[in-house]
Structure 1
């Protein structure tokens, strides 16, 4: 990875780096940006200002897409400096997180500003001016405006909203990007953007993630898997993070990994600017399980997929987790260690509401660490650094096992696993990459356990999986005595897992990931 330009104090001369930039932007914009203090940083990722209260606006009250963009922009600007944040309440799990912040952390909830006009009137003192874009004529201009809104402390305003915003007292036009694209924004204002974090976001995503983009001054683009994208990622600093999501999973993760950049799927994650405003890590502790006793059994553990996806963690996982059959069998869930910074409140909620005897819910780190990467594609020094940072996240999030997903059949590549298993907070790796057919490898005295089966609609259905597992040996000293099953969260539910569990014979025992690792260690299975 090449070293990028460090983010500098913003001055008028920096903003006027070219004649075109000088003509496009008033000098006052540079002065406004210079007055913005840096946001606090957690383990690695930026966080919103420590939170004391939330002004709640129902998402249903945002009736147009430009309104959604505007409120997310305002939300991110407010989170830069104010302990009074804005929360977009979508209902469902979002309402659960809002209420949990109130009951557990003492965050005051205020419903007195239910429209964007009222919110803007309340917080316009924190806005230096506005950037105009045109969603209809030029969808890419939404991302251009999002990129620049944070550095310039500017509200981003669609052309259709301009007169309404001016009527509320925000009258200073800092920049018009209505006819601009992301390439222009990057070539003209690269020095304004954060050098450790960027975002990949479809312009048709309106309020999800855009608040965190504004908070973090993240350059935002949606270019496909192109040479230009590789150049943008390559100029970020070591251990950089790419938020959001692109349009080709394997290719985009491969390219980011080659540049040493970790991707965190967050394109549909709302309210990160305020969820990250909880700075305490108190309560991020899973309930301990009793030490297992080895028996002549075949041991099975189920792990729910997509733990790397913070948007899934904040929405789909909660709905999955509330299935009424939960608590009738042991199960493991992948979850993102980056929630320690991005949303410690929801992470704590999962831990406090997990089943804790006689059956257990167990959380492990999603692939392939603090975010989605392919370890085989990462430069060796980047992989080493990521493992060290992951160790810090694992310690603070009480996560002892990490999932690995790769685009190559690398189960036998001990050199890739050594950086992970050198870390004191990582007890084991679960390998879900190509060529995973069961098996256990030992690296630094710790196991790498390969997936043996999936429960995945269209690939392996319940009857086939039941039959496969029941035929396996009850031999805890052998790798063949263990089955690790990846459950595809998008095509299978906990009810489907329960069907498999009920079909297993008496020689099979379903355990949590944590217990599986203990049994493998106790028996040094090979």
Structure 2
């Protein structure tokens, strides 16, 4: 790993999961909405070069980018370009020609060449272009061709990424690796170029060896790639299959941040001022005392570990008319304070007493504790604790996986019994012991279970969630079944809500149909009630 290349001026110091780019003096805004995938691909790879190490351009691809530009980045001087479509590329090429050394041509008949071209772009300071674009721009802008991937004789993506592992990975950043669908023209790609990150896209469920490539499998190549990174490095983007992918990164002690559709990340990490810090302290909620036959219930919305969800879909949920009128737990990534302090500041600034932030699974990033190397767990927990403390988070959501789920093979994974629950009590205790010094007061555990369970460990409630719930009717069914089959009173329920299927208004509909037997509280208050025996 001695030849690994980091981009000068980008700060990975200390225990940062993501780097801090230099604060921008001003931003030129380009609107890519409606642009072709070809134009977007060239524009984002160009932006990655232009924005290292100090962001200068911001790309709009959706209405959320417009909102955030005003709401969270408004203090930065901005100028909006009138260019659109191919005109955007012309303005970028003319205005920032010195940042670009040439062109890297991908093969339109082999989509994975786009990812290899993206890795090359970060190393050779080239922009990723189609053959048609290359022909037009070579003379117009005096851009040399740095590489033409049509000349490479790869038969499949396994061969292509194995070649990239041998020839490109040694010259890429040691801090990050990314899985990115080559059909995703934009998304995280500008950040990957800016940070010189190695990019791949393989299927962790593919165990079959390829006789034409030294009997290697796609799963085996993923493992070989991950071995090139030290424990604590970050896996960005996403996977073809979640369970088996996160299992492999956890085996290698790589923290996962779901970011494949996170835009302008290099701009967001550059806003590190104190004005973007989290709120001083959580808002207090009165802790009720239950009568003999009452049920305390809370609702926790999933997917807060997913940074792109926070940038896009969570904003839509956050602006739902019912938010604030009912208690809701919102999972959120502790790493958000590093990745996008401006996003964290917005959510914390607009929070109500009925909104309760919970650290998303399973801490500093998405990981499965039972797969994480035991010797690396203290470091992960220390990093998690510091980030939770900086975000004033005291409840942690944990997900785990069993062997059947870790294969990702549907016929096998569907036999799973654990519901993504961390079932090992010794491992639960290790998490709690590692996070107690940072103020942990509750552990929410698992998804995909119909019967809740709770016990105490070193004074901290360990609560097995009810759910996932993906509709009003499903939520009511889960709750009523849990209540009717459990005679214990008082009873404590936390329902894990699928963020992609339900809204705060849907949760309100559930509450309206529950009746007076139920007392609705935030998850944090539920943890306090359990701990106090209320």
Common fold: TM-score over 0.5: yes
Separation in structure 2 between the aligned mates of residue 263 and residue 208 of structure 1, nearest angstrom: 16
Matching residue within 174, 177, 188 for 2:149:
177
State the match for 1:430 in structure 2: 444
Give the 5 Å matches for 1:72-87: 72-84=44-56, 86-87=57-58
Answer whether contact 2:442 2:524 (CA < 8 A) is retained: no
State the match for 1:48 in structure 2: 21
Give the root-mean-square deviation of aligned CA atoms. 2.4
State the match for 1:514 in structure 2: 524
Answer whether contact 1:400 1:427 (CA < 8 A) is retained: yes
State the match for 2:130 in structure 1: 158
State the match for 1:289 in structure 2: 284
State the match for 2:511 in structure 1: 501
| Corresponding position: 1:59 with 2:32 | yes
Report the 3-state secondary structure (helix = DSSP H, G, I; strand = E; otherwise coil) of the residue aligned with 2:150.
coil
The normalised TM-score by structure 2 is 0.84
Answer whether contact 1:465 1:500 (CA < 8 A) is retained: no
Answer whether contact 1:102 1:109 (CA < 8 A) is retained: no
Answer whether contact 1:430 1:449 (CA < 8 A) is retained: yes
Q: From the superposition, tell whether residues 355 and 7 of structure 1 become closer, same or farther in structure 2 (CA, over 3 Å).
A: farther
Q: From the superposition, tell whether residues 150 and 411 of structure 1 become closer, same or farther in structure 2 (CA, over 3 Å).
A: closer
Answer whether contact 1:130 1:170 (CA < 8 A) is retained: no
| Corresponding position: 1:420 with 2:391 | no
Q: From the superposition, tell whether residues 451 and 462 of structure 1 become closer, same or farther in structure 2 (CA, over 3 Å).
A: closer
State the match for 2:265 in structure 1: 272
Aligned-residue offset at 1:380: 0.7
Aligned-residue offset at 1:435: 5.5
String of CA shifts for 1:60-119, please: whole Å, max 9, x gaps: 252x222111111111112212342x222133222111112343xx11121136312112
Matching residue within 325, 329, 339 for 1:328:
325
| Corresponding position: 1:367 with 2:361 | yes
| Corresponding position: 1:315 with 2:312 | yes
Aligned-residue offset at 1:391: 1.1
Aligned-residue offset at 1:245: 1.3
Q: From the superposition, tell whether residues 170 and 314 of structure 1 become closer, same or farther in structure 2 (CA, over 3 Å).
A: farther
Separation in structure 2 between the aligned mates of residue 168 and residue 417 of structure 1, nearest angstrom: 62
Aligned-residue offset at 1:230: 1.0
Answer whether contact 2:448 2:468 (CA < 8 A) is retained: no
| Corresponding position: 1:492 with 2:502 | yes
Matching residue within 439, 456, 477 for 1:464:
477
Matching residue within 230, 233, 243 for 1:240:
233
Q: From the superposition, tell whether residues 65 and 492 of structure 1 become closer, same or farther in structure 2 (CA, over 3 Å).
A: same
- Report how many aligned residue pairs link the two structures: 482
Answer whether contact 2:72 2:346 (CA < 8 A) is retained: no
Separation in structure 1 between the aligned mates of residue 90 and residue 34 of structure 2, nearest angstrom: 11
Answer whether contact 1:130 1:171 (CA < 8 A) is retained: yes
Separation in structure 2 between the aligned mates of residue 305 and residue 347 of structure 1, nearest angstrom: 17
Q: From the superposition, tell whether residues 436 and 372 of structure 1 become closer, same or farther in structure 2 (CA, over 3 Å).
A: farther
Report the 3-state secondary structure (helix = DSSP H, G, I; strand = E; otherwise coil) of the residue aligned with 1:300.
strand
Report the 3-state secondary structure (helix = DSSP H, G, I; strand = E; otherwise coil) of the residue aligned with 1:350.
helix
| Corresponding position: 1:249 with 2:249 | no
String of CA shifts for 1:333-368, please: whole Å, max 9, x gaps: 112222222222112111112223xxx111111111
Separation in structure 2 between the aligned mates of residue 402 and residue 164 of structure 1, nearest angstrom: 53
Separation in structure 1 between the aligned mates of residue 43 and residue 261 of structure 2, nearest angstrom: 15
Answer whether contact 2:5 2:172 (CA < 8 A) is retained: no
String of CA shifts for 1:422-469, please: whole Å, max 9, x gaps: 2222322110146673222333332211113442249x6244245346
